[in-house]
Chains A and B, each alone.
Chain A
């Protein structure tokens, strides 16, 4: 609490975040291009600034100065407000994201719930962008993004809730306050007890960020960038910023909830000097995983993606919550939790494997209209 005036304090902390976001976006953009370049056996940006460090800055300047065109037949206000509806929720979600015990803007008792609830709003922005730009590919992309984000929001939330249920807190179990969740992971991070929830959370996070292998809304080869087709300049830059902010948000959240945040190996009393690098390291681990997935995985098809969410991730999430419920009711030790969750993870891996190996169902059904002009084969 800087000064006794809560408004000043809140304003200052928000200022820190407001500065941190563009810097984080630029750094992540540069790192992503370097990492993917290295995976593809090439150097990545080297031209602007030493080792290409200023490349992302140059891109940002270019995007800001480039004219952002609006198609003539676009639905004016939907088109122009869409980027804000996408960016604002992900920035607002950063408010209650703690980096260390007291390094946050405002820590809410319902921190986890607040973050997940707010970040679902960006779906509306994507659909607005798709509809507003009056372009066939954009509409297709918007419909796909709506379908995908909604169907992967549920497993994401349930995985987080599963962990929140069994979180150890001074007064009993179960809390939505992120700081308490992290405090509870002093000796053992929740990834050990809740590996199935961790698996579901990571896969659903990938889908939330529409990154490979779930990047169907913005598939270049099919819908040419989906809802962002008609955007350019500043507005497109906002969409990209939203994507990177979401990336940071979900990586930090995952490291807080599953890897023990600033607490796990070093304990609580070490002080921010060591805790902040620890949380940054864990987040970097997640971000590296997301970058790597983008470089080496192709894209699923829309029906496979939906089937995977509804037929595999959701049942497993229910199983996880029921298992947690049982453990809480009968007060079994945590080890049982870990075993049940481990069994769930193995089942998940097998289910994914079997589902992916099954050949795509043959749709020889040729609709009547096409049959009429069918050339005799």
Chain B
């Protein structure tokens, strides 16, 4: 019976410890900066337009094929207000299909798409599957309204093959593959 006595002693010790439960809705665990929720688009506040130019690289590399992107000429470019000739016209991500594999963020040439690391993207359950298909306006909302404080910009991905430290001031312009 020694083993069982030892078990009782051990469990008495453990029962005395502080319980580890986090009571979810009232207290929430602090998400790390790299937490991968769902992909969202970034808003360029200087030129008041999305960073994304609709180049469809992410749509091509998405394993689950959950993105559809179309491109349009940038009206602001004609007026000379923004450096981007092309801007995204419509951008749909089907969050029901997306498996959050972060390949789109990696291959994006213009660093226009990042993973939302706030609780909003973790609490993304909806009653109807159609509501999970996010259009351009819904994708831009977190970045536009400032919910997305500091998204994780990975310093080095395979897309920028050939490792070199990304100096701070380096231009974010997209270089061709």
Hey, which bits of chain A sit against chain B, CB under 8 A? Answer: 37-39, 41-43, 46-47, 292, 295-297, 349, 352-353
Of A41, A43, A46, A349, which contacts B15 at CB under 8 A?
A: A41
Hey, which bits of chain B sit against chain A, CB under 8 A? Answer: 1-2, 4, 7-8, 11, 14-15, 17, 19-21, 23
Q: Is the CB of B11 within 8 A of A43?
A: no
Q: Is the CB of A39 within 8 A of B11?
A: yes
Of B11, B19, B20, which contacts A295 at CB under 8 A?
A: B11
17 of the cross-chain contacts (CB-CB < 8 Å) are A38-B19, A39-B11, A39-B15, A41-B15, A41-B20, A42-B19, A42-B21, A43-B21, A43-B23, A47-B23, A292-B8, A292-B11, A295-B11, A296-B7, A296-B8, A352-B1, A353-B2
The CA-CA distance from A297 to B10 in the complex, in Å, is: 13
The CA-CA distance from A349 to B4 in the complex, in Å, is: 12
Which residues from chain B contact A349 at a C-beta distance below 8 Å? Answer: 1
Give the shortest distance, in Å, between B160 (CB) and chain A (any CB): 45
The CA-CA distance from A295 to B14 in the complex, in Å, is: 12
Which residues from chain B contact A37 at a C-beta distance below 8 Å? Answer: 19
Which residues from chain B contact A46 at a C-beta distance below 8 Å? Answer: 21, 23
Which residues from chain A contact B14 at a C-beta distance below 8 Å? Answer: 39, 41
Q: A46-B23, A292-B11, A296-B11 are in contact. Are A41 and B17 (CB under 8 A)?
A: yes
Of A43, A292, A296, A353, which contacts B19 at CB under 8 A?
A: A43
Which residues from chain A contact B1 at a C-beta distance below 8 Å? Answer: 349, 352-353
The CA-CA distance from A134 to B85 in the complex, in Å, is: 73
Q: Is the CB of B4 within 8 A of A38?
A: no
Which residues from chain A contact B21 at a C-beta distance below 8 Å? Answer: 42-43, 46
Q: Is the CB of B15 within 8 A of A297?
A: no
Give the shortest distance, in Å, between A204 (CB) and chain B (any CB): 17
Which residues from chain B contact A38 at a C-beta distance below 8 Å? Answer: 15, 19
Q: Is the CB of B23 within 8 A of A297?
A: no
Q: Which residue of A lies closest to B20 (CB)?
A: A41
Which residues from chain B contact A292 at a C-beta distance below 8 Å? Answer: 8, 11
The CA-CA distance from A39 to B4 in the complex, in Å, is: 15
Q: Which residue of A lies closest to B14 (CB)?
A: A41
Which residues from chain B contact A295 at a C-beta distance below 8 Å? Answer: 11
Q: Is the CB of B20 within 8 A of A42?
A: yes
The CA-CA distance from A46 to B22 in the complex, in Å, is: 11
Q: Is the CB of B4 within 8 A of A41?
A: no
The CA-CA distance from A188 to B75 in the complex, in Å, is: 98
Give the shortest distance, in Å, between A211 (CB) and chain B (any CB): 15
Q: Which residue of A lies closest to B18 (CB)?
A: A41
Which residues from chain A contact B2 at a C-beta distance below 8 Å? Answer: 353
The CA-CA distance from A14 to B7 in the complex, in Å, is: 42
The CA-CA distance from A297 to B5 in the complex, in Å, is: 11
The CA-CA distance from A353 to B2 in the complex, in Å, is: 8
Give the shortest distance, in Å, between A246 (CB) and chain B (any CB): 23
Which residues from chain B contact A47 at a C-beta distance below 8 Å? Answer: 23
The CA-CA distance from A47 to B24 in the complex, in Å, is: 10
Of A42, A43, A297, which contacts B4 at CB under 8 A?
A: A297
